[in-house]
Amino acid sequence: MSESAGGGDPLVIRSLEFIGPMATVGGWRPPSELPEVAFAGRSNVGKSSLLNKLVRRKAFARVSKTPGRTREINFFQVNDQFVLVDLPGYGYAKIAKERKAEWRPLIEGYLHQSPKLRGIVQLLDARRDPTEDDLDMLDFLASREVPTIVAVTKVDKFSRAAGEKAVRDLALRLHLDEDQVIAFSAVTGQGRDELAEAVISLVSAPLPNDNDADDAAPTDAPAADHPAPETDA
Ligand code: GDP
């Protein structure tokens, strides 16, 4: 179905504010007060178009496209609800090798430094095979147990049936559950509400080791990505 068919909008934007960029590993990032959802994908996959559609602003993601900002991680506060994190688009296949070295440390640095990260929306282009970078990113997210939604972009380029098949094939090929994969089109709005719902459920899910009193401090519970200390010698 397309946008808001027969129901309320799962994500009504009441306020949307650019809170700043993270430019270097270990550099500034906003305090981790609200849950975060990050968006990743290679350049040109349709990330800006998807973000604009998601928040219903025509040029919302423009800030991430301004010269000097394209390599940064940009943070936006949505309502008083969550922080939307726009990760830098990684390289085209032909120069992937050089770019890989660039995106990995910053994106990985962010992922390591983000106790409030609730999930990632990974974008893949419906018409293209996933690149090595895409596969690396998905593997990396799986290894860190970051909940991941895959948005398959530009499905309007296919007929409905062919689009559905492309999405099913991709899910099979990447060993993803079909309910982790959303067919999306910024042109028709297909998938916008489904994506909005998925984002809301990510930000609403409590983390097992979440501690609202002081998120930056270590908690007693071991983080999911660190093995528990051995207790019996
Ligand atoms: P980004 O580099 O990932 O931010 O990608 P953009 O959002 O700038 O989109 C890259 C190109 O793909 C632009 O020419 C867009 O017009 C086009 N595009 C993005 N989303 C869609 C879509 O859903 N359908 C179609 N047909 N084109 C799209």
How close is the Cα of 187 to the center of ligand 1, in Å? Answer: 9
Can you say whether the dihedral through the CA atoms of 50, 54, 58, 64 is positive or negative? negative
Of 148, 155, 164, 145, the C-alpha closest to 199 is 148
Q: pLDDT by residue (tens digit) across 64-75? A: 777 767 789 999
- Ligand 1: list residues with CB < 6 Å: 41, 43-49, 89, 153-154, 156-157, 185-187
Instruction: Determine which residue's CA is closest to atom 26 belonging to ligand 1.
Output: 154
Would you give the DSSP letter of residue 182? E
Higher-scoring residue by pLDDT: 57, 102 = 57
Give nearest CA residue, ligand 1 atom 28. 154
Domain ranges of the chain: 16-206
Q: What is the pLDDT of residue 94?
A: 54
16-206 is classed CATH 3.40.50.300: yes
CA atoms within 13 A on the CB side of 45: 32
Residues forming a β-bridge with 85: 38, 75
Structure token digits, residue 48? 């800006």
The atom number, within ligand 1, closest to the CA of 184 reads 23
- Dist CA 150 CA 195 (whole Å): 10
Higher pLDDT, 112 or 168: 168
Q: Specify the pLDDT at position 224.
A: 44
pLDDT tens digits for 182-198? Answer: 999 999 999 999 999 99
The band of 3, judged by pLDDT with boundaries at 50, 70 and 90, is low
Q: Which residues contact 72 (CB under 8 A, 6 or more apart)?
A: 21, 22, 23, 64, 88
Q: What percent of the chain has pLDDT over 90?
A: 58
Q: How far is CA 169 from CA 50, 130, 188, in A?
A: 22, 12, 22
Structure tokens at 75: 């943070």
DSSP of 57-96: -SSGGGGGGSTTTTTSEEEEEETTTEEEEEPPPB--GGGH
Helix (H, G, I), strand (E, B) or coil at 146: coil
Q: Which residues, other chains included, contact 102 with Cβ-Cβ below 8 Å and sequence gap of 6+? A: 71, 90, 91
DSSP 229: P
Asked whether the beta carbons of 209 and 221 are under 8 A apart, the reply is yes
∠ CA(142), CA(144), CA(148), 5° rounding? 45
